[in-house]
């Protein structure tokens, strides 16, 4: 090929098209024998020498290179040729060079965004809806077969209608960056369906595309934005698919081993549980992660990120530091200033549980809300614990920092039981994962209400549905940002599997064929989400910031008397009375976790309007004045102006 090769520039890293060709730059402290390899249309490969720049960056500018051409790097030794993937690759091919290493595709990122603006949903109005791109659309009957399981399926009118009818503001997509199956899954003929094993931090996964992952993902984001829906990506920067000792080599292990934390014996630290731990105090890796985040925002107009095992990102060696280099870099970066940042605030390393420990601008997934709310309705936990979570976990997230530091409250996430399974199983049933049911969490706080799994017994079905409504009402009328697992809106069951990471099957695929009970729940959910937006959001806004002390909070017994100290340690009926300012709007929560009905005496004044009664899909008594008989295992939310 008649290509002219010059030194090129050290920035930006990756493959960058120019007016005359393409500039290649890669950080490679261990660059001995490193060569750029370009593949032509006949799949012949051509080796290109690299020139050393500053800071261990090697570069080359190759004239005549065009978008669509493929490239990789190689290290040639007397024994073998080791193929390496550019850590900055923007698109990968499906055909590997070696057993697992794919080639990268040089891309031009031009796209017509049609002047579409980002929705920029305020924190108090945000309703996060977590889903898997394939799992959510794979079985949707109104989506054409070619689009099912794809980026373009997620923005099909049938999905848009579903999101809008529910009142969803923000989609949180499980990882869409290119990931890789672990070796042990191949032996079991399973796959890493969830995608939490990243191969490349810049490249959208081709398995969710028909032909062009970059254009199709951008089209999806543009369409969702045009309908006022944000897109948040679940990103994994705590480890890579290179695993630990003996694991595969894709790039960092060969190019820059300091990318990973090592212990005193020269072994990989494994704070992620996946074999290695990325060290974000190593400046070149921090730069790569920051460049990746900016790439998703600038090229794909992404609205925010949920960071998997985010405690790892704030580590300085074995210690967590909220002033670490990563947090400081995020805080000052102008491109990321308007993005939503959600942390999974833990990892499995020492001092790894950091709920409430992240700096300003970071919202955090609140597992205490999950566990205590589950326990309150399915078993027993104290009123004090439940009240603390309902009121926004202010022991961890001070209201003085709301709405910037609102807790992300949830009942179910992708890992663990779905909402339906939470009220249908006492124990996990993960046999399909082929690990003899040893995997998955054992502390589920679930209750089957008399029969393990599916049943035709009306009384059990009725109680399960009521408990689902109790859990969701507690979530939507708590202070915080509610997170909904998308398949819960369809009453999806994973058949008791609480760790379906390897299930690319109907266990994980949303079932859109709803029976009457499931359809009733979805219609109820639409109403309760609309009620939250109308009635609860003003209270979250009112209780946030400097005016929070001007509003009213009263906890009372069913007879309207104030609680004493001992009452907070009980598991019994309770009233929460909220009011804005001295005489503004009021909300009243009548909460009855007991097995018997309880009559509540209501605060005096004008009649109360029933917003929701979890014991009744269609309350026949729209207003009440003095007392209300609350059914067993239920709660009612009332409002008056």
pLDDT tens across 329-370, in order?
999 999 999 999 999 999 999 999 999 999 999 999 999 999
Quickly state the pLDDT bin for 41 (edges 50, 70, 90).
confident
DSSP state of 73: E
What pLDDT, on the 0 to 100 scale, is given for residue 98?
67
How many Cβ atoms are within 10 Å of 332's Cβ, its own excluded? Answer: 9
Q: pLDDT, tens digit, for every residue of 540-593?
A: 999 997 888 889 999 999 999 999 999 999 999 999 999 999 889 999 999 999
Distance of CA 486 to the CA centre of its chain: 11
Q: What are phi and psi of 329, to 5 degrees?
A: -65, -45
Mean pLDDT of the chain: 95
Q: What are phi and psi of 432, to 5 degrees?
A: -65, -15
Quickly state the pLDDT bin for 259 (edges 50, 70, 90).
very high
DSSP state of 30: T
Q: Nearest-CA neighbor of 639 among 510, 560, 498, 535?
A: 535
3-state secondary structure of 40: coil
Which residues sit opposite 230 in a β-bridge? 170
Cα angle vertex 157, ends 153, 159, to 5°?
A: 60
Q: pLDDT, tens digit, for every residue of 383-425?
A: 999 999 999 999 999 999 999 999 999 999 999 999 999 999 9
> Are 3 and 45 in contact, with CB atoms under 8 Å apart?
no
The structure tokens listed for 385 are 């614990």
What pLDDT, on the 0 to 100 scale, is given for residue 97?
66
What pLDDT, on the 0 to 100 scale, is given for residue 113?
98
Q: Nearest-CA neighbor of 276 among 307, 311, 312?
A: 312
Q: Nearest-CA neighbor of 428 among 415, 410, 416?
A: 416
How far is 559 from 594, CA to CA, in rounded Å? 16
Give start-end residues of each CATH 3.20.20.80 domain in the chain: 123-539
Give start-end residues of each CATH 2.60.40.1180 domain in the chain: 549-640
Q: Which of 130, 279, 344, 488 is catalytic?
A: 344
Quickly state the pLDDT bin for 99 (edges 50, 70, 90).
low
Whether 511 shows a pLDDT value over 80: the answer reads yes
* pLDDT > 70 fraction of the chain, expressed in percent and rounded: 99
Known catalytic residue at 142: no
Known catalytic residue at 130: no
Whether 189 shows a pLDDT value over 90: the answer reads yes
Sort 11 into a burial class: Cβ within 10 Å, 0-12 / 13-18 / 19+: middle
> Are 508 and 193 in contact, with CB atoms under 8 Å apart?
yes
The structure tokens listed for 7 are 């030194």
What pLDDT, on the 0 to 100 scale, is given for residue 548?
82
The structure tokens listed for 60 are 């080359």
Q: Which of 234, 308, 347, 613 is catalytic?
A: 308
Whether 458 shows a pLDDT value over 70: the answer reads yes
5-105: which CATH architecture? Sandwich (2.60)
* pLDDT > 90 fraction of the chain, expressed in percent and rounded: 91
What pLDDT, on the 0 to 100 scale, is given for residue 435?
95
What pLDDT, on the 0 to 100 scale, is given for residue 197?
97
Q: Give me the count of residues in the chain.
A: 641
C-alpha distances (whole Å) from 230 to each of 165, 280, 505, 580 are 15, 28, 27, 30
DSSP string, 240-287: -TT-STT---SSHHHH-GGGB-B-TTSPBP-TTSSS--B-TTSHHHHH
3-state secondary structure of 536: helix
Provide CB contacts within 8 A for 407, sequence distance 6+: 363, 364, 366, 369, 392, 393, 396, 397, 479, 480, 481
- Summarize the confidence of residues 310-327 as an average pLDDT: 94
- Summarize the confidence of residues 70-84 as an average pLDDT: 89
Q: Rg of the chain over CA atoms, in angstroms?
A: 26
Give start-end residues of each CATH 2.60.40.10 domain in the chain: 5-105
How far is 84 from 73, CA to CA, in rounded Å? 5
Q: Where are the alpha helices (DSSP H) in 116-260?
A: 133-137, 151-154, 157-166, 183-187, 213-226, 252-255
What pLDDT, on the 0 to 100 scale, is given for residue 24?
98
How far is 491 from 468, CA to CA, in rounded Å? 9
Q: pLDDT, tens digit, for every residue of 596-640?
A: 999 999 998 889 999 999 998 877 667 888 999 999 999 999 999
Among 19-23, 113-117, 313-317, the range scoring the smallest mean pLDDT is: 313-317
Owner of token pair 């890293």: 13
Distance of CA 338 to the CA centre of its chain: 18
3-state SS, one letter per residue, for 392-443: CCCCCCCHHHCCCCCCEEECCCCCCCCHHHHCCCCCCCCHHHCCCCCCCCCC
Whether 77 shows a pLDDT value over 80: the answer reads no
Q: pLDDT, tens digit, for every residue of 203-247?
A: 999 999 999 999 999 999 999 999 999 999 999 999 999 999 999
Quickly state the pLDDT bin for 44 (edges 50, 70, 90).
confident
CATH of domain 549-640: 2.60.40.1180
Domain spanning 123-539: which CATH class is it, in words?
alpha beta
What pLDDT, on the 0 to 100 scale, is given for residue 582?
86
Whether 448 shows a pLDDT value over 70: the answer reads yes
């Amino acid at each position: 090929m008649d290509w002219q090769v010059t030194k090129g520039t050290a920035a930006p890293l990756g493959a960058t098209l120019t007016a005359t060709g393409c500039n290649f730059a890669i950080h490679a402290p261990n660059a001995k024998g490193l060569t750029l390899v370009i593949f032509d249309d006949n799949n012949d490969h051509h080796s290109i020498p690299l020139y050393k720049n500053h800071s261990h960056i090697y570069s080359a500018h190759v004239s005549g290179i065009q978008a669509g051409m493929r490239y990789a790097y190689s290290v040639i030794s007397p024994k073998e040729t080791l193929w390496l993937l550019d850590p900055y690759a923007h698109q990968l091919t499906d055909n590997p060079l070696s057993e697992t290493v794919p080639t990268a595709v040089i891309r031009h990122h031009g796209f017509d965004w049609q002047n579409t603006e980002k929705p920029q949903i305020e924190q108090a109005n945000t309703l996060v809806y977590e889903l898997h791109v394939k799992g959510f659309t794979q079985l949707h009957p109104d989506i054409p077969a070619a689009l099912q399981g794809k980026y373009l399926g997620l923005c099909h009118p049938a999905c848009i209608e579903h999101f809008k009818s529910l009142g969803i503001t923000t989609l949180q997509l499980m990882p869409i960056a290119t990931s890789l199956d672990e070796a042990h899954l191949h032996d079991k003929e399973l796959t890493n369906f969830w995608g939490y094993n990243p191969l490349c931090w810049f490249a959208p996964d081709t398995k969710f595309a028909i032909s062009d992952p970059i254009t199709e993902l951008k089209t999806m984001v543009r369409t969702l934005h045009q309908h006022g829906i944000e897109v948040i990506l679940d990103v994994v920067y705590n480890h890579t698919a290179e695993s630990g000792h003996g694991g595969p080599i894709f790039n960092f292990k060969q190019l820059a081993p300091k990318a990973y934390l090592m212990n005193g014996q020269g072994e990989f630290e494994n704070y992620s549980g996946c074999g290695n731990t990325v060290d974000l105090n190593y400046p070149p890796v921090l730069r790569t992660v920051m460049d990746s985040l900016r790439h998703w925002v600038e090229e794909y107009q992404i609205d925010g990120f949920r960071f998997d095992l985010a405690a790892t990102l704030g580590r300085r060696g074995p210690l967590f530091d909220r002033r670490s280099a990563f947090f400081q870099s995020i805080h000052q970066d102008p491109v990321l200033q308007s993005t939503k940042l959600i942390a999974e605030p833990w990892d499995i390393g020492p001092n790894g549980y950091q709920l409430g420990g992240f700096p300003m601008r970071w919202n955090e997934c609140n597992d205490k809300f999950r566990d205590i709310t589950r326990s309150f309705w399915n078993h027993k936990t104290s009123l004090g614990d439940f009240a603390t979570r309902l009121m926004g976990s202010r022991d961890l997230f001070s209201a003085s920092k709301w709405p910037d530091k609102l807790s992300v409250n949830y009942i179910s996430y992708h890992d663990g039981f779905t909402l339906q399974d939470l009220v249908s199983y006492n124990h996990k049933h993960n046999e399909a994962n082929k690990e003899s049911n040893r995997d998955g969490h054992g502390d589920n706080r679930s209750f089957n209400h008399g029969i393990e799994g599916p049943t035709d017994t009306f009384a059990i079905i009725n109680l399960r549905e009521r408990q689902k409504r109790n859990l969701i009402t507690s979530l939507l009328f708590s202070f915080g940002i509610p997170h909904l697992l998308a398949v819960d809106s369809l009453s999806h069951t994973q058949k008791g599997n609480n760790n379906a990471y390897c299930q690319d099957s109907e266990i994980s695929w949303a079932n859109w064929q709803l029976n009457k009970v499931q359809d009733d729940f979805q219609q109820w959910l639409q109403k309760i989400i609309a009620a939250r937006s109308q009635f609860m959001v003003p209270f979250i806004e009112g209780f946030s910031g400097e005016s929070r002390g001007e509003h009213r909070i009263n906890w009372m017994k069913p007879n309207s008397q104030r609680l004493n100290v001992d009452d907070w340690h009980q598991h019994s009926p309770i009233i929460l009375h909220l009011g804005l300012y001295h005489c503004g709007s009021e909300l009243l929560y009548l909460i009855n976790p007991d097995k018997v009905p309880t009559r509540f005496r209501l605060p005096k004044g004008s009649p109360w309007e029933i917003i929701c009664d979890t014991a009744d899909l269609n309350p026949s008594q729209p207003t009440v004045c003095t007392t209300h008989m609350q059914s067993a295992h239920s709660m009612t939310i009332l409002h008056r102006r």
